[in-house]
Each structure stands twice: as structure tokens, then as C-alpha cells.
Amino acid sequence: MRAGNDWVGRITDDLSVALGFYTRLPFRHDGANSGEELARASWAAPLAGAVVGAVGALAYALAHAAGLGPLPAAGLTLVATLIVTGALHEDGLADTLDAFGAGATPQTRLAIMRDSRIGTFGACALILSLGLRWAALASLGEPKRVAAALIVAHVAARAMPPLLMFLIPPTRHEGLSAAAGLPPADSVAAAALLGLAALLLGLGFGKGLIAAALLGICLVGMRSLALDKIGGQTGDVLGAFEQVCEIVILLVAARG
């Protein structure tokens, strides 16, 4: 850990933690990432998202240059982002939908989340998530439009889970989300500002405001749903929330 007054060192450390956790790229922090480190580095999650979006944009541009149409190019783009992230958030989406869809009580829902097997609700959620993102990217067509939408989506979507963590407590007493606890208010605010800036600059003022408003609705809805279903949030819920936000942003970007 660097000295508290070494702000350059803190930024470097936080970026390393965020990239090491949110991607499979060779950016590793010295030692294992603790929950406290991840909470502190939550402001850097949108920057890790920018890296993921840039990789996806490069994949689309290369596929387009090779003469592939928008549909296969968009499919390869999703493959690239899944490889870079290790399907981290997709895993959370599947586990959360299985738990919320099939569990009858908070205890059974939490037990389902711990089960590595995928059920009907989770499978349907993944199909819909990939399908909607695939269709949105393909509808954009031009590599420049795809690049802007991808980077904005991955930046702004990763700015939202810290807000949810700040609003509702972890439901378990163990696990990474519980270990992280409440993220620092300055980290949450910085993540939100990065996300909003990405929306307004990448989508334009009008679409950016629409996307921001829809993400706010998603935040309120996910908070209410998580509290009702399991009494708080888990890492899986945070991953599912990121996926919902990513889909919303890409659909707004694809809007005519």
C-alpha cells in the first residue's frame, strides 16, 4: 500500500486493482485484491470498462476491414469482450436471474446463487443479453459508431454498481461484496461522474441524458428488487446490474 498522500501512487494502484479484477489482461496488483481495495478502486471500474470497450471496438474494426458484415463483426466483438472480461458480469447475470426466478425464499435464492450450475432463467437471461447487444451493435454498422457506443457502454455500465453498493448493504456476512463493505463516497462520486461524462460525450447530449435517466430508473428498480428478493446485494447482483445497464446504453445508442 502506498502512502496516503501519494495520489499518483493511489491512482496507479487503483487502476491496477480495477484492471486486475475486471479483466483477464496482464494487469495485476501486487498480492491478492482485498474487498477494501476493490471498494476504494471502484472509481476506476469505468476506466477498466474503457479498456474492454476499446478491445471490442478493435475487434469490430478488424472484422469490418476483413470484409465481414455487421452481424458477424458484432458477434466477434462480443467474443472479444467476453474473452477480455472472462464473462465476469455474465456469470453474475445468470446466477441472479436463476436465483430471483426460481428461489422461493431469500435463503434458497442465496443458495441458488452459490450453485455453479445454470438454470432456465439464467440461460434465457444470457441469450437475451447477448442477443440484444449483438443486435444493437450490428444496427450501428459503421466502426466509428460501434466504437463510440461500445466504449460508452462499458464505461458507464461499470460506473453504476458502486452506486448500488452505496445504497444497499451486502446481504451476506462473507464473500467479496461483504468484505468490500461500503465504498468511499468520493470513489462512488468519481465513478458516477466518469460514467455521466462518457454518456454525454460519447452519445451526444440528447441521447446521453436519455441514457442517464434510464440508468437512474434501473438503479431504483434493481435496488428495490434486490432488497425484496434477498435483503441486499451480492457480487452476482452487481454483475447482473452492470449487464442491464450495458444493454440499456447500447439500445439507446442504436436508437435512430
Asked whether residue 34 is domain-assigned, the answer is: no
Q: Which residues of 184-211 are buried (b: 16+ CB within 10 A; e: fewer)?
A: beebbebbbebbbbbbbebbeeebbebb
Average pLDDT, the chain: 92
Residues facing 170 on adjacent strands? 233
Q: How far is CA 227 from CA 33, 141, 167, 213, in A?
A: 27, 39, 11, 21
Asked whether residue 177 is domain-assigned, the answer is: yes
Mean pLDDT of 119-148: 97
Q: Structural domain tally of the chain?
A: 1
Residue 220 CB coordination number (10 Å): 11
Rounded distance between C-alpha atoms, residue 22 and residue 186, angstroms: 20
Asked whether residue 28 is domain-assigned, the answer is: no
Asked whether residue 3 is domain-assigned, the answer is: no
Residue 128's domain spans which residues? Answer: 43-254
Report residue 242's pLDDT band, with 50, 70 and 90 as the boundaries: very high
> Which amino acid is located at 91 in the chain?
D
Asked whether residue 6 is domain-assigned, the answer is: no
Residue 82 CB coordination number (10 Å): 17
Q: Mind giving me the DSSP string for 52-66?
A: HHHHHHHHHHHHHHT
Rounded distance between C-alpha atoms, residue 76 and residue 99, angstroms: 30
Residue 25 cell numbers, joined: 489482461
Rounded distance between C-alpha atoms, residue 64 and residue 141, angstroms: 9
Contact 140, 254 (CB under 8 A): yes
pLDDT tens for 1-41 read: 444 457 777 888 899 999 999 999 886 555 445 677 888 89
Contact 60, 147 (CB under 8 A): yes
Report residue 72's pLDDT band, with 50, 70 and 90 as the boundaries: very high
Asked whether residue 146 is domain-assigned, the answer is: yes
Which pLDDT score, from 0 to 100, does residue 12 have?
A: 87
Contact 136, 253 (CB under 8 A): yes
Listed in sequence order, the DSSP H helices in 168-234 are 176-180, 185-203, 205-230
pLDDT at 60 over 70: yes
Please provide residue 233's backbone torsions phi and psi, each rounded to the nearest 5 degrees. -120, 155
Asked whether residue 199 is domain-assigned, the answer is: yes
- The DSSP call for residue 43 is G
Residues facing 233 on adjacent strands? 170
> pTM to 2 decimals?
0.92
Which pLDDT score, from 0 to 100, does residue 30 have?
A: 53
Residue 69 CB coordination number (10 Å): 11
Q: Write the CB contacts of 112 (distance below 8 Å, at least 6 apart in sequence).
A: 95, 98, 99, 102, 103, 119
Asked whether residue 21 is domain-assigned, the answer is: no
Contact 95, 122 (CB under 8 A): yes
Q: Helix or strand or coil: residue 233?
A: strand
